[in-house]
């Protein structure tokens, strides 16, 4: 969904990309990972007894997610402006994204931000389900592509990475990261199912 609009967003960012073509695109990919990790650290520092004169670490976590998303888009825009789009860059981007996903969700789990008043009453349960789902969304696409499914065909679903990260960021701003993680946990696995159905239609 949102991920399919990346090219449109990158076109809108062309003026910015043209001004920073002196920077290696992989640098922005790395900055995306770093800010993703900072988001996870912020979530991990969450405390219910926070002082009003300090920046809420949960809100900071959401802010870092948005910044990470910006870097995730600008790296491709700069690569296109410099004519340096490479397969390795794509591989590196995907690897960093998975580390970023893990940092954000594990940070939320550590900070007690995945507890919900619904069964099972295990603090980390829905965080774990969301993390597994996030990884499986990526793995399902990669596995289907290696089996011969065209990338544009299999890159579908209601919860690609952009959607998942945006939901968590919004949840952080409204103080409902736990419910945001719950939503991500559900829709990530729905996306996996959608991709399995598409792969079956193409490969059977």
Judge whether 100 and 125 are in contact, CB under 8 Å: no
Label each residue of 34-83 as H, E or C: HHHHHHHHHHHCCCCCCCCCCCCHHHHHHHHHHHHHHHHHHHHHHHHHCC
Q: Which token pair is 131? A: 């993390």
CA distance 127 to 184: 9
> Cα separations (Å) of 129 from 54, 74, 90, 118, 198?
32, 30, 26, 14, 23
Q: Which token pair is 197? A: 């159905």
Judge whether 46 and 58 are in contact, CB under 8 Å: yes
Q: Which helix (H) or strand (E) holds 122?
A: none
Hey, which residues are catalytic here?
97
């Amino acid at each position: 969904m949102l991920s399919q609009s990346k090219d449109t967003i990158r076109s809108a960012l062309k003026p910015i990309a043209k001004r920073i073509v002196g920077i290696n695109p992989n640098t922005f990919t790395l900055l995306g990972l770093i800010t993703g990790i900072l988001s996870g650290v912020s979530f991990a520092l969450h405390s219910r007894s926070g002082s009003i004169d300090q920046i809420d670490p949960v809100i900071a976590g959401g802010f870092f997610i948005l910044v990470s998303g910006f870097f995730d888009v600008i790296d491709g825009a700069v690569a296109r402006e410099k004519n340096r789009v490479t397969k390795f860059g794509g591989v590196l981007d995907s690897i960093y994204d998975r580390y970023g996903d893990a940092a954000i969700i594990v940070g939320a789990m550590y900070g007690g931000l995945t507890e919900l008043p619904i069964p099972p009453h295990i603090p980390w349960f829905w965080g774990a389900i969301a993390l597994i789902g996030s990884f499986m969304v990526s793995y399902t696409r990669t596995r289907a592509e290696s089996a011969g499914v065209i990338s544009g065909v299999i890159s579908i679903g209601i919860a690609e990475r952009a959607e998942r990260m945006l939901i968590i960021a919004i949840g952080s701003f409204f103080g409902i990261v736990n419910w945001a993680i719950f939503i991500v946990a559900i829709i990530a696995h729905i996306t996996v199912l959608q991709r399995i159905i598409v792969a079956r239609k193409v490969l059977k």
